[in-house]
Every structure is written in C-alpha cells, then in structure tokens.
Structure 1
Amino acid sequence: MKDFNQIIGNNLQHIRKQKNMSLDRAAELTGVSKGMLAQIEKGASNPTVSTLWKIATGLNVSFSYFMEEEEKEIEHIALKDIKPIIESDGKMQVYPLFPYDQSRRFEVFTIDLEAGWNHISEPHNEGTEEYIIVTEGEMEVSIGDSAYKLSAGDAIRYLADKPHCYRNVTEVMVRFQHIIFYFK
C-alpha cells in the first residue's frame, strides 16, 4: 500500500526548498501552522483535504502535486491499494488515482461521500475546470447559486473558479470520479 503521508511530506519539502522558502514563510502563505507543515513534511501527519488545498493554493501548485511519484510507462491502479485522504472524520474519502502531471495538466480522484454529508470547496485558480462522473448513488453539485442533481452515470463539467459544493442528499454513500483540469 502506498504511504501517501510520506509522499506528501517529501513533495511538500521539495517544493518548499525549490522555492527557497522557510517553514515560517510557507505557513504565512498557506495559513497552515509551521508545526503542522513540519509534521506533514516528516510524514507524521495525515493532512485533510482542506489543509492540502490551503497548502496547494498558498504555494501555487496543484492539489495532487503532493501525491506525485516517478512516472511509469504503464500504471495500473487498484483502489483497494490506495490509502485515502480523509476529511471530516471519514465522511469524505479521496483516493488519488492519477496525481497531477505537469505535461498533462490534470488529476483524477475517486471520492466517497457519506450519506447526508457535503464538502464546500473554495474557488480554484482561474481557468481550472472540474469534471464529475457519478458511479454510485446520487448527489448534488452546487456551483455559485446553481444546483445540479446527478445520479449514477451522470456527469458535469464546470469552471471551478467560484465556490462549489459536493452534497450527498441521500441515505447511502455516493461515489464519483473527479477530474481537475488546470488550464495554466
């Protein structure tokens, strides 16, 4: 099983050093405490989705930059072998299938959202697009002031530079594929 905590920590330390940035400066830019950043770099902390988004936005890198590994010619992914990033005490689990790749400019996740739960996402950088394909259950996606109901087999694409929310309004878990495309 991949140890994403260690991968995340190594990549955070790499980008911080590449930018010649102290932990203090990284904390200032991201809004994440110096102590938490140090724990993440050591692989001793399992950061939440929200924390990773703060760090990614503050350091101006993609969300899945932190999960990147050396590229292989063929990569077969088994969901059962991925340790998810957990948010809200397990109510949301994010499985990074294909982390961000600079040449491809997109990343792919499987997300499980428990019954009655939602996740509010802050606006991403201008030009960022999100694609959602529901594979199990039903959900609602709110983008700005509009809401869209999606069932298994349904999909939606939208510009993610405004607040958006993934909401499970049912009594069973919803699973969806989440693709984020970075224009710039």
Structure 2
Amino acid sequence: MKDFNFIIGKNLNNIRKQKNLSLDKVALLTGVSKAMLAQIERGNSSPTVTTLWKIATGLNVSFSYFMEEKFSEVIYVTYNDIKPIIESDKKMRVYPLFPYDNKRRFEIFTIELQPRCNHESPPHNDGLEEYIIVNRGELEMIIGQDVYKLKCGDAIRYLANKPHCYRNTTNNTVSFQNIIYYLK
C-alpha cells in the first residue's frame, strides 16, 4: 500500500524549496499552521482534503501534485492498494487514482460519501473544471446556488471557482469519479 503521508510530505517540502519559501511564508499563503505544515512534511500527519486544497491553492499547484510519483509508461492502479484521504468526520474517502501530470493537466479520483455525508468545498483557482460521474448511488451537487441531483450513470461538468458541495442525502454509500481539469 502506498504511503501517501510520506509522498505528500516529500512533495510539499520539494515545492516549498523550489519556491524558496519558509514554513512561515507557506503558512501565511495557505492559512495552514506552521506546525501542521511541518508535521505534513515529516509524514507524521495525514492531511484532510480541505487542508490539501488550502495548501494547493496557496502554493498555486494542483491538488494531486502532492501525490505525484515518478513517471512510468504504464500505470496500473489496484483500488485496494490505494490509501484514501479521509475527510468530513470519516464519512468521505478520496482515492487518488491518477495524480496531476503537467503534460495532461488533469487528475482523477474516486470519491465515496457515506450516508448523510455533506462535504463543502471552497472555490478553487480560476481555470479549473470538475467532471463528476456517479458510479453508485445518488449524489446531490450544489454549485453556487444551484442544486443538481445525479443518479448512477449521470455526469456533470462545472467551473470550480465558486463554492460547491457534494452531498449524499440517502442511506446508502455513493461513489463517483472526480476528474479535475486545469485549463491554465
């Protein structure tokens, strides 16, 4: 099983050094405490989805930049070998399938929401589209003020530079693919 805490920490340290930023400066840019950033860099903390988005937005990198590994011509992903990122009181699991690649400019995740899970996502940077494809269950998407109810097989695409919410209003787990495309 991949140790994403180690990979995330290594990549955070790399981007911080590439940009010649201190932990204090990264804390200022991201709104994440210096202590938490240091724990993440050492691989001692499992950051939440919200924390990773804050760091990615503040450092102007993709969400899955922190999960990137070396390039390979063929990448075979076994679902059971992926350690999920857990959020929203352990009711949301994000499985990073294909982290961001500069050549392709997208990343792909499988996301599972337990019954009655409500995950609010702050606006992302301009030039970012999200594609959602429901694999199992029913998903309610709130984008800005608009509400969309998606059933198994349904899909939606939207600009993610406004608040959006993934909501499971049912008593069953919902699973969906989330493809994030970076236009810029």
Fold conserved between structures, TM > 0.5: yes
Report the secondary structure of 1:133's partner residue.
strand
- What amino acid is aligned across from residue 87 of structure 1 in structure 2? E
- Where does 1:4-15 land on structure 2 (aligned, <5 Å)? 4-15=4-15
Matched, 1:39 2:39: yes
Aligned-partner Cα distance in 1 for 2:26–2:128:
23
Sequence identity percentage = 70
Give the aligned partner of residue 176 of structure 2: 176
Give the aligned partner of residue 161 of structure 2: 161
- What amino acid is aligned across from residue 156 of structure 1 in structure 2? I
The alpha-carbon deviation at position 124 of structure 1 amounts to 1.1
Aligned-partner Cα distance in 2 for 1:90–1:57:
23
- Where does 1:36-75 land on structure 2 (aligned, <5 Å)? 36-75=36-75
* TM-score, normalised via structure 2 length: 0.99
Paired positions, count:
184
Give the aligned partner of residue 94 of structure 2: 94
Describe the superposition over 1:28-55 as per-residue Cα deviations: whole angstroms up to 9, x where unpaired.
1110010100000000000000000000
The alpha-carbon deviation at position 90 of structure 1 amounts to 1.4
Gaps of 5+ in 1: none
Aligned-partner Cα distance in 2 for 1:124–1:32:
16
Give the aligned partner of residue 20 of structure 1: 20
Aligned-partner Cα distance in 2 for 1:117–1:44:
27
* TM-score, normalised via structure 1 length: 0.99
- What amino acid is aligned across from residue 106 of structure 1 in structure 2? F
* Counterpart contact for 2:123–2:164, Cα < 8 Å: yes
Q: Hey, which bits of structure 1, 4+ residues long, moved more than 4 A? A: none
Gaps of 5+ in 2: none
Aligned-partner Cα distance in 2 for 1:124–1:24:
23
The alpha-carbon deviation at position 89 of structure 1 amounts to 2.8
The alpha-carbon deviation at position 63 of structure 1 amounts to 0.4
* Counterpart contact for 2:106–2:182, Cα < 8 Å: yes
